[in-house]
């Protein structure tokens, strides 16, 4: 089950559509959906998590904690709405597109995709773009 939680004023306006989309991506990647919690928050909230749990004193747009077991995808995905807004402006895309990219980025990590090397990041971006098209 996919749950959307809010630690900020932001509310996802198309949550049913996004939830169905995430479920389809998980299925398309050959996995099964477990419990996935999205938490939309601000920079301070996510920064505190980054420092406390990852020892990274930096701002980021997403942090995911993967609790997947075998082929069952589950975990907690924290997304800073402030970072998404800033990144959308920097990348010259709509807020909605950047938000959807970040939402699916966490799921793709759970499916085994990485983004630490240039080659891995390129494949991750291709997957993101592929699945973004299926939402529109």
In whole angstroms, give the CA distance from residue 23 to residue 6: 20
Comparing CA positions, the residue from 21, 9, 17 lying closest to residue 128 is 21
Could you tell me which residues come within 8 angstroms of residue 23 by beta carbon, excluding any fewer than 6 positions away? 2, 33
115 belongs to an annotated ligand binding site: yes
56 belongs to an annotated ligand binding site: no
Could you tell me which residues come within 8 angstroms of residue 106 by beta carbon, excluding any fewer than 6 positions away? 38, 62, 64, 75, 77, 79
In whole angstroms, give the CA distance from residue 78 to residue 62: 6
43 belongs to an annotated ligand binding site: no
Binding positions for Zn(2+) are: 105, 109, 115
Q: Which residues are annotated as a binding site?
A: 105, 109, 115
């Amino acid at each position: 089950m996919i749950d959307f939680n809010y630690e900020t004023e932001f509310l996802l306006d198309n949550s049913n559509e996004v939830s169905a989309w995430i479920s389809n991506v998980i299925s398309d990647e050959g996995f099964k959906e477990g419990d996935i919690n999205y938490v939309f928050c601000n920079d301070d909230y996510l920064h505190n998590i980054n420092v406390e749990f990852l020892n990274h004193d930096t701002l980021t747009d997403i942090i995911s904690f993967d609790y997947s077991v075998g082929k069952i995808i589950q975990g907690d995905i924290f997304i800073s709405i402030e970072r998404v807004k800033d990144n959308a402006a920097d990348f010259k895309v709509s807020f909605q597109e950047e938000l959807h990219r970040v939402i699916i980025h966490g799921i793709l990590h759970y499916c085994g995709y990485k983004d630490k090397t240039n080659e891995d990041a390129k494949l991750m971006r291709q997957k993101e773009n592929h699945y973004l098209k299926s939402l529109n």
